[in-house]
Chains A and B, each alone.
Chain A
Amino acid sequence: MIFRAVEDADLIQQAARGAVEAYNLLVSRWEKRVYNYLLRITGNREDALDLTQDVFLKAYQNLRKLDDPGRFAPWLYRIAHNEAYSMFRKRRPETDVDELEPESVETGIVFGGSSVFPMELSLAVAGALERLSPEQREAVVLKIYQGFKFEEMAEILSCPVSTVKSRLYSAFDLLKAELAPIRTRGVS
């Protein structure tokens, strides 16, 4: 008997044929990452949880349209991005998406749970991220916290790679300046 790890592609194929258990396994592999992505761009736990549920429901309904299972991650995050921005527009339809900011600065969202970094640094990072524009923040989240390549980010955000790079580089310049005083105080 040969054992092998069940790949996402296997689960996707089974789920596309209606196997709910296979889809639940797929959800369990991705839900935490999607939730944290949505949490970073919305800044609200309840919204992030509701959106995560909507994202996986929509993904299940459209799973048969995914031709290449290898592209599942960018495809799933594209849904998540659209769901989040759809919520932003519904709540503030008169506001341009570029001006949207997270509802509240929840500086206590996460403190890493790591003893290496003190709370002061985590607070500073959370504050610095909040001060970025929504586009810059999302680029940082997708690259630093979710580990996507530039091409995948362009697919998720539906924009050219050059735009993705521009947002990320400008965000890093700002973050570098914001976090420099913390580092020079020897916190890191």
Chain B
Amino acid sequence: MSCSPIDLMDYLLHELAGPRRAEVEEHVQNCVACREELDRLRLTQTALMSLGEEEMPRRIAFVSDPVFEPPLWRRAWGGFWGSGPRLGFASAALLSIAILVSALTRPAPAPVPRTVTVVREAGGIGADEVDRRIQAAVASSEARQNRKAEELVKRIADRDRRQIEALRLAAAQEVDYYQHNERVLTANFSALRPSEGEAR
């Protein structure tokens, strides 16, 4: 053990546990400096103890006067609620009672929905039959949806075909118009040439 004034103080003031106290005692026997310091501390403590206790000039005594005594029910009430643990216990007990009362007075559960009843009335239907019917309903729905999709595609295709046909017809009419104009112009040009020869 090394020299520690704090250990010496704690040793002097009886604040060291048994093993530690024995260590300090052993150290003090072998260490002159610590022994002298402990002696100084002991002398200081002894000097302090030279101041004794003083007697009281007057003794204190309380008298029981019913006028100033709180009523019995208030003392009992205050005695009960003045304690933290008791207050906690009482709170827990009240909470437990509230839960119990709530559980006992809870209204009956709401009636089961009608759809569930229908399923129960169809008793005798096994899970496989239910699955089969669900699959059939799903297949029917899918077929219906496929049919509608096919009709829609066909309708769109017909519309596109009609639009293309109309465009093609319009283009053909345009071609006919330009060809007709070309023929007219050619005829007119041919008609003009002889008149030029005649002029010569």
Selecting from B58-66, B95-103, B106-114, B158-166, the interface stretch reads B58-66
Contact check: which of A28, A117, A125, A169 meets B6 at CB < 8 Å? A169
Interface 0/1 of B19-59, CB less than 8 Å to A: 00000000000000000000011011111111111111111
Q: Is A52 an interface residue (CB 8 A)?
A: yes
> How far apart sit A105 and B45, CA to CA, in the bound complex (Å)?
21
Q: Is A36 an interface residue (CB 8 A)?
A: yes
In chain A between 53 and 68, which residues have their CB closer than 8 angstroms to a CB of chain B?
A: 53, 56-57, 60, 64-65, 67
List of B residues within 8 angstroms of A129 by Cβ: 48, 51
Selecting from A70-78, A83-91, A92-100, A143-151, the interface stretch reads A143-151
In chain A between 28 and 51, which residues have their CB closer than 8 angstroms to a CB of chain B?
A: 28, 31-33, 35-36, 39, 45, 49
B contacts with A: majority SS: loop
A32 and B56 within 8 A (CB) = yes
User: What range describes how many residues of B lie at the interface?
Assistant: 35 or more
Chain B residue nearest to A175 (CB atoms) is: B44
CB distance from B133 to the nearest CB of A (A): 71
B54 and A109 within 8 A (CB) = yes
CB distance from B161 to the nearest CB of A (A): 96
In chain A between 109 and 150, which residues have their CB closer than 8 angstroms to a CB of chain B?
A: 109-114, 116-117, 121-122, 124-126, 129, 140, 143-145, 149-150
Chain A residue nearest to B13 (CB atoms) is: A143
> How far apart sit A113 and B61, CA to CA, in the bound complex (Å)?
27
> How far apart sit A144 and B42, CA to CA, in the bound complex (Å)?
12
A-B pairs with CB below 8 Å: how many? 113
In chain A between 140 and 188, which residues have their CB closer than 8 angstroms to a CB of chain B?
A: 140, 143-145, 149-150, 165, 168-169, 172, 175-176, 179-180, 182-183, 188
Selecting from B79-87, B122-130, B134-142, B145-153, the interface stretch reads B79-87
Contact check: which of A16, A33, A112, A145 meets B79 at CB < 8 Å? A16
> How far apart sit A60 and B60, CA to CA, in the bound complex (Å)?
13
CB distance from B20 to the nearest CB of A (A): 14
A140 and B85 within 8 A (CB) = no
Interface 0/1 of B67-90, CB less than 8 Å to A: 001000001001100111100000
A125 and B51 within 8 A (CB) = yes
CB distance from A154 to the nearest CB of B (A): 12
Q: Is A79 an interface residue (CB 8 A)?
A: no
Given contacts A31-B56, A109-B54, contact A20 B47 (CB under 8 A): no
List of B residues within 8 angstroms of A53 by Cβ: 60
B84 and A67 within 8 A (CB) = yes
Contact check: which of B9, B50, B59 meets A31 at CB < 8 Å? B59
> How far apart sit A166 and B193, CA to CA, in the bound complex (Å)?
136
A122 and B51 within 8 A (CB) = yes
Contact check: which of B51, B52, B62 meets A24 at CB < 8 Å? B62
Chain B residue nearest to A143 (CB atoms) is: B13
Contact check: which of A23, A117, A179, A180 meets B62 at CB < 8 Å? A23
> How far apart sit A18 and B69, CA to CA, in the bound complex (Å)?
8
Q: List 7 A-B contacts (CB under 8 A).
A: A27-B60, A36-B53, A39-B54, A45-B54, A64-B79, A65-B83, A125-B47
Residues of B within 8 A of A (CB): 5-6, 9, 13, 15, 40-41, 43-64, 69, 75, 78-79, 82-85
